[in-house]
Amino acid sequence: MNKLVRMTLKGYKSIRELHLELRPLTLLIGANGAGKSNFIGAFKLLNHLVNQNLQLHVARAGGADQILHYGRQNTERLVIDLCFAADEDRFCGYHCSLAPAAGDTLVFEDERTASYGSARFAEPTPVYFGAGQKESALAQKSDEISRNIRKVISNWKVYHFHDTGEDAKVKQNCDIDDNDYLRTDASNLAAYLYYLREKQTPHYRGIIDFIRLAAPFFDDFSLRPNPLNPRKIKLEWREKGTDAYFDANSLSDGTLRLMSLATLLLQPVERLPAIILLDEPELGLHPYAITLLAELLRSTATHTQIIAATQSVTLVNQFEPADVIVVDRQGRQSVFRRLDAADIASWLDDYDSYGLGDLWEKNVFGGRPSV
pLDDT of 119 higher than 60:
no
Which is higher by pLDDT, 363 or 186?
186
Which is higher by pLDDT, 89 or 4?
4
- Please tell me the pTM assigned to this model: 0.94
Candidate from 120-134, 279-293, 294-308 with smallest mean pLDDT: 120-134
* pLDDT for res 351: 59
* pLDDT for res 1: 53
Is the sign of the CA dihedral 275, 279, 284, 287 positive or negative? Answer: positive
How far is residue 21 from each of residues 3, 8, 63, 325, 338, measured CA to CA in Å? 11, 9, 29, 10, 9
Report which listed range, 136-150, 211-225, 339-353, is most confident.
Answer: 211-225
* pLDDT for res 87: 75
* pLDDT for res 14: 98
Instruction: Say how far apart CA 272 and CA 278 lie, in whole Å.
Output: 14
Instruction: Say how far apart CA 178 and CA 351 lie, in whole Å.
Output: 50
Average pLDDT, the chain: 94
Instruction: Say how far apart CA 200 and CA 187 lie, in whole Å.
Output: 20
Instruction: Say how far apart CA 184 and CA 188 lie, in whole Å.
Output: 9
* pLDDT for res 364: 85
Tens digit of pLDDT for each residue in 318-360?
Answer: 999 999 999 999 989 999 999 988 878 777 776 567 889 999 9
Closest by alpha carbon to 170, among 230, 231, 255? 255
Closest by alpha carbon to 367, among 329, 314, 317, 312? 329
pLDDT of 120 higher than 60:
no
Q: Which fold has domain 1-159+317-341?
A: Rossmann fold (3.40.50)
* pLDDT for res 283: 96
**Strand, helix or coil at 26?**
strand
